Amino acid sequence: MSAGTMTAEQAAKALAERAEEVALCLDFDGTLSPMVDDPEAARPLHGVVELLGPLASRFAAVAIISGRPAAYLAEHLAAPGVRYLGLYGLQEIHDGEIQVDRRLEAARPTVEAAAQALRESDAVRESGAWLEDKEYAVAVHTRRVPNYEEWTDRIDRTAREIADRFGLELIPGKLVWELRPPVRGDKGDAVRRVVAESGARVVVVVGDDLGDLPAFAALTELAAEGHPVLRVAVRSEEAPAELLDAADLVVEGPEEVLEFLRRLAA
């Protein structure tokens, strides 16, 4: 069900009528949570968590798919029936236990060494950039760095050099550079897994960043296979143009995502 000229209200109504066939895949930062200077302070918009359980009870699947660790997602978005796919789907919680791709576990010492190299780099020390330990990945954040624009090129070069040195993959985002093992797995793979395991016929992805582009691409492939799909981009000052261009529907910030979820639950 490509939205085309359909409004968010019309799209939500059409989806709600087929709820038992729909897989709803949601990003976290910038989608369910407003962007904040301190990534550790990110929390879902008030009212989001209360909707997730009722949606999961009616829809084929409700999945939170994020670069965040699965435990973080489960802690801050706790609701019955919801799936939590962390690290772009390479980590998931099943029956209260975290399951991790074994290739990630093997790469932990390398990630720790790269994190130490970043910590000791001039660019990170002098800028005051914050390092986020994701256990199986490390991310450099500049959102709370004064005059962060002045540091962007230098931190980008540093992150790329260290990623190359340790054989890690660099995933850039909005004011963040994530270094992680080159283990195949992105949001597109995660979306396909949710669809296959839930038996969903209709697939919705809601996201706001470069990491959501593979999920949008997966929906294009699923549409070619006969699945009705809806790509929802969340607009902000930092939302990448290519994501907005690829979307079937654009909403304005997490507030409109919340309203969209309310309409789905109505």
The token pair at 135 is: 């256990």
Q: Which residue in 46, 44, 49, 47 sits closest to 32, CA to CA?
A: 44
The token pair at 203 is: 């697939």
- Sequence-distant (6+) residues with CB within 8 A of 21 are 60, 200, 201, 202
- Sequence-distant (6+) residues with CB within 8 A of 30 are 174, 208, 209, 234, 236, 238, 239, 254
Angle at the Cα of 90 (from 87 to 92), degrees rounded to 5? 85
For tokens 């850039």, what's the residue?
172
Amino acid residing at 221: E
Long-range residue pairs from 1-8, CB within 8 A, at least 24 positions apart, any chain? 1/202, 1/228, 1/229, 1/230, 2/223, 2/228, 2/229, 2/230, 2/248, 3/230, 3/248, 3/249, 4/248, 6/248, 6/249, 8/249, 8/251, 8/256, 8/259, 8/260, 8/263
What is the set of active-site residues?
27
Taking the C-alpha atoms of residue 184 and residue 1, their distance in angstroms, rounded to an integer, is 29
Amino acid residing at 34: P
Taking the C-alpha atoms of residue 261 and residue 264, their distance in angstroms, rounded to an integer, is 5
